[in-house]
């Protein structure tokens, strides 16, 4: 990659923290860090120990106990395990499920597959601030509703949902509550000893851990049972078989521990970056903040702009690495379903850019982003001239 690339796509993937990298590297060079944790010999026990330490670190971050955490390959798998697993485990009680229109594809595509398998899904819209209206949720719940899935922080807009309020409504009606917290774990405090969440998905590469490892939290209460997606060696309480990848699990643990220490500083840092970025680009004529900071996790700023074609904007912004809509959708070319649900028209959606930043982002990066964004919009409008849409 060209040396001057400026990485502003932390919502798609955060680079692993140097501490995490070093720790993984040390494990990869040791017998205990590369053994099979299911083996009973010295090296295997060492591997198992690394894994249990990591489980403890993640439990501490989430204010829960290690036994509640099952390691997976990432949030996509956690979402599938939680949603398919709960839907099938409770299918004998009812086949109605509830989610939102603004979920990540790992959630929405899973619900769509369940629809094909005979489940009924209610898709709730967000309000103008991207949030779930709790009265709508209450109204949607039925006697046969088994599961509600609402993400914590939206990956495209940063919109935050009120887990405590949603969880309370679900508990009240004996409905399981799953949340995809891929974008918030390690960045916002989530206290699972207090917030009534039953199932929570996370992935390490969104909080400075490695790619390819995630976890599912499963609450310890009656009725909170799920069926596995896969079968095999009996690992992870038979819910997720397969050799546990020691260096990845340990990397996740180290990232969790680091996140706990740095959470306040990280949050203050991205808040100030977001303010600076928006202050800079709001001067562009026709630019619009998709959602205001007050309702968002501040590490994400989603903006759209009039009179500019999105693909050209992205190329004109190079070497800024930013996302057009969700990184998970960016190759499909379809307009973002999240921005649509928020009421944006297709012209605005196609011009939307998601800036997202984190620990490694500096004020200089932000200044450069502002400069390039202004320049790119001006240049493209120049090329468009009279052909330019209103």
Chain residues in the site for ligand PLP (CB under 6 A): 74-76, 104, 106, 151, 155, 180, 182-183, 203, 205, 214, 242-243, 328
Site string for its own copies, 208-247 (x = CB under 8 A): --xxxx---------------xxxxxx------xxxxxxx
Interface stretch with its own copies, choices 59-67, 91-99, 270-278, 314-322 (CB under 8 A): 314-322
Interaction of residue 81 with another protein, rule CB under 8 A = no
Which pairing describes strands 320-321 and 287-289: parallel, antiparallel, or unpaired? unpaired
CB 62 within 8 A of CB 194: no
Interaction of residue 67 with its own copies, rule CB under 8 A = no
* Minimum CB–partner distance for residue 209 and ligand PLP (Å): 10
* Minimum CB–partner distance for residue 75 and ligand PLP (Å): 3
* Minimum CB–partner distance for residue 380 and another protein (Å): 8
Question: Residues near 294 by Cβ (< 8 Å), separated by ≥ 6?
Answer: none
- Cis ω for the linkage preceding 319 (within 30 of 0): yes
Interaction of residue 347 with another protein, rule CB under 8 A = yes
Site residues for its own copies, window 104-163 (CB under 8 A)?
104-106, 109-110, 112-113
- Rg of the chain over Cα atoms, rounded to whole angstroms, equals 22
* Interacting partner of 179 out of another protein, ligand PLP, its own copies, none (Cβ under 5 to 8 A depending on kind): none
* Minimum CB–partner distance for residue 56 and its own copies (Å): 20
Alpha helices (H) in the chain, listed in sequence order: 18-28, 42-62, 75-89, 105-116, 134-140, 163-172, 246-281, 310-317, 337-341, 346-350, 363-384
Site string for its own copies, 274-313 (x = CB under 8 A): ----------------------------------------
* Residue with smaller CB distance to its own copies, 21 or 129: 21
* Interacting partner of 89 out of its own copies, another protein, ligand PLP, none (Cβ under 5 to 8 A depending on kind): none
- CA 282 to centroid of chain Cα atoms: 26
Query: Distance between the two ends of the chain, CA-based, in angstroms?
Result: 36
Exactly one of 16, 17, 24, 46 binds another protein (CB under 8 A); that residue is 46
Q: What is the phi/psi pair of residue 54, to 5°? A: -65, -40
CB 253 within 8 A of CB 58: yes
The three-class DSSP label of residue 69 is strand
* Interacting partner of 309 out of another protein, ligand PLP, its own copies, none (Cβ under 5 to 8 A depending on kind): another protein
* Interacting partner of 348 out of ligand PLP, another protein, its own copies, none (Cβ under 5 to 8 A depending on kind): none
Question: Residues near 302 by Cβ (< 8 Å), separated by ≥ 6?
Answer: 156, 157, 158, 289, 290, 291, 339, 352, 353, 354, 355
CB 59 within 8 A of CB 68: yes
Map tokens 């798998």 to a residue: 77
Q: What is the phi/psi pair of residue 133, to 5°? A: -80, 120
d(C-alpha 28, C-alpha 232), whole Å: 25
* Interacting partner of 59 out of ligand PLP, its own copies, another protein, none (Cβ under 5 to 8 A depending on kind): none
Interaction of residue 101 with its own copies, rule CB under 8 A = no
* Interacting partner of 180 out of its own copies, ligand PLP, another protein, none (Cβ under 5 to 8 A depending on kind): ligand PLP
The residues that are catalytic are 328
The binding site for another protein (CB under 8 A) comprises 40, 45-46, 48-49, 52, 307-312, 315-316, 347, 350-351, 380, 382-389
């Amino acid at each position: 990659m060209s040396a001057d690339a400026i990485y502003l796509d932390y919502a798609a993937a955060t680079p692993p923290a140097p501490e995490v990298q070093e720790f993984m590297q040390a494990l990869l060079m040791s017998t205990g860090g590369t053994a099979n944790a299911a083996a009973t010999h010295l090296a295997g026990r060492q591997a198992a120990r690394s894994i249990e330490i990591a489980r403890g670190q993640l439990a501490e971050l989430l204010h829960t106990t290690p036994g509640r955490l099952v390691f997976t390959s990432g949030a996509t798998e956690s979402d599938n395990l939680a949603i398919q697993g709960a839907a099938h485990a409770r299918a004998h009680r009812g086949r109605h499920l509830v989610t939102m229109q603004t979920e990540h594809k790992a959630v929405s595509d899973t619900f769509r597959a369940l629809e094909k398998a005979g489940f009924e899904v209610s898709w709730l819209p967000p309000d103008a601030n991207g949030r779930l209206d709790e009265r709508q949720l209450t109204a949607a719940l039925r006697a046969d509703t088994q599961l509600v899935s609402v993400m914590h922080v939206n990956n495209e807009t940063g919109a935050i949902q009120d887990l405590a309020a949603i969880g309370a409504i679900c508990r009240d009606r004996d409905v399981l509550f799953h949340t995809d917290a891929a974008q918030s774990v390690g960045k916002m405090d989530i206290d699972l000893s207090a917030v009534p969440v039953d199932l929570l998905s996370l992935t390490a590469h969104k909080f400075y851990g490695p790619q390819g490892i995630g976890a599912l939290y499963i609450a310890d209460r009656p009725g909170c049972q799920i069926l596995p997606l896969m079968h095999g060696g009996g690992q992870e309480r038979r819910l997720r078989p397969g050799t546990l990848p020691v260096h990845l699990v340990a990397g996740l643990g180290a990232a969790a521990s680091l996140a706990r220490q740095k959470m306040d500083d990280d949050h203050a840092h991205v808040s100030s970056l977001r303010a600076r970025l928006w202050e800079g680009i709001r001067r562009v004529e026709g630019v619009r903040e998709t959602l205001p900071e007050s309702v968002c996790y501040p590490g994400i700023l989603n903006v759209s702009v009039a009179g500019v074609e999105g693909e050209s904007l992205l190329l004109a912004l190079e070497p800024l690495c930013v996302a057009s809509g969700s990184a998970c959708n960016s190759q499909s070319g379809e307009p973002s379903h999240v921005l649509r649900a928020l009421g944006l028209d297709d012209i605005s959606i196609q011009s939307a850019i998601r800036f997202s930043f984190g620990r490694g982002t500096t004020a200089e990066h932000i200044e450069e982003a502002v400069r390039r964004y202004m320049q790119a919009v001006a240049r493209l409008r120049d090329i468009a001239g009279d052909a330019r849409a209103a």
